[in-house]
Copies of this chain bind each other. A is one copy, B any other.
Amino acid sequence: MNGHAATDIWKSLQEVRTKAPVVHSITNYVVMNSTANALLAVGASPVMAHAEEEVSDMVEIASALVINIGTLSREWVKSMFRAAEKAKSRSIPIILDPVGAGATPYRTGTAREIVRAFRPEIIRGNASEVMALSEDAARTKGVDSSETSHAAVSAARCIHEAYGSVVCISGETDYLIGRGPVAKVRNGHPMMTRVTGMGCAATALCGAFASVDGEYVRAAAHAMAVMGIAGEIAAEGADGPGTLQVRFLDALYRLTGEDIDARLKLEV
């Protein structure tokens, strides 16, 4: 299974490197630089533009649209909607990162509105963000970690059933919920949580892989596996999160089929 999956990932990665798909990201200020660098390192072509005057024209030349609500404001939400409308009309995949959903009503509300209005092809968040997207699940609180995963997977399934979105719940294990059984990716390294924007980079990579592979559970699983494997390689011998961040970009850039084959921990 893994041998086959590793070959698929390697093919998709090569396709990203060859086609250099334009990934338009409307993302938060904190991670713009690191997200652009992650996209460049994996071989994609990042574009960032948020003005209402131009988002629609920029989506015109993109192969995927990534919307990340990490630093929201009224103007930006307007642009996210305008961009998403254009993405829908062009049938390019929309990938949503509901950063901080659950932390404030503004975020939770905005994220839910985007989900309802545009049915993103892929949604990637952590367990509590995914639960916040689903009104029923959001009521579940104070559960322990294993129950959290369980509750988040249920919430993800509700979201998938209502909107058709593939939901990726990232964490120590990444869960991928779409049609069929839940896929799991167990790659990665705990030190990655000490670098800001690793989740946002994962979402952007979902955009890159979704632009070369219309089977979105698979595309998201591939993106998460590539993130995790590059993170593991980066963490080996890293003195801390500063070095990890630098080596992560190097690892993405140099990733080989052998690396993927040797390290992949994907379960379907």
Using a CB–CB distance below 8 Å, which chain A residues touch chain B?
28-34, 36-37, 40-41, 46-51, 53-54, 57-58, 61, 70-75, 100, 103-107, 193-197, 238-243, 245-254
Contact = CB atoms under 8 A, between A and B. Distances in A.
Contact of A106 (B54, B74, B245): B54
A195 B240 CA distance: 19
Contacts of A30: 32-33, 36, 48
B37 A241 contact: yes
B48 A71 contact: yes
Contacts of A242: 37, 41, 245-250, 253
9 contacts: A33-B196, A40-B193, A40-B196, A41-B194, A47-B100, A49-B100, A239-B254, A240-B250, A245-B249
A74 B53 CA distance: 8
B53 A106 contact: yes
Contact of A104 (B31, B54, B196): B54
A180 to B, nearest CB: 35
A241 B34 CA distance: 12
Nearest to A56: B104
Given A71-B50, A104-B57, A106-B54, A249 B240 contact: yes
A241 B71 contact: no
A159 B245 CA distance: 40
A27 to B, nearest CB: 9
A241 to B, nearest CB: 5
A52 to B, nearest CB: 8
Nearest to A39: B196
A194 B46 CA distance: 10
Nearest to A73: B51
Nearest to A42: B194
A217 B44 CA distance: 34
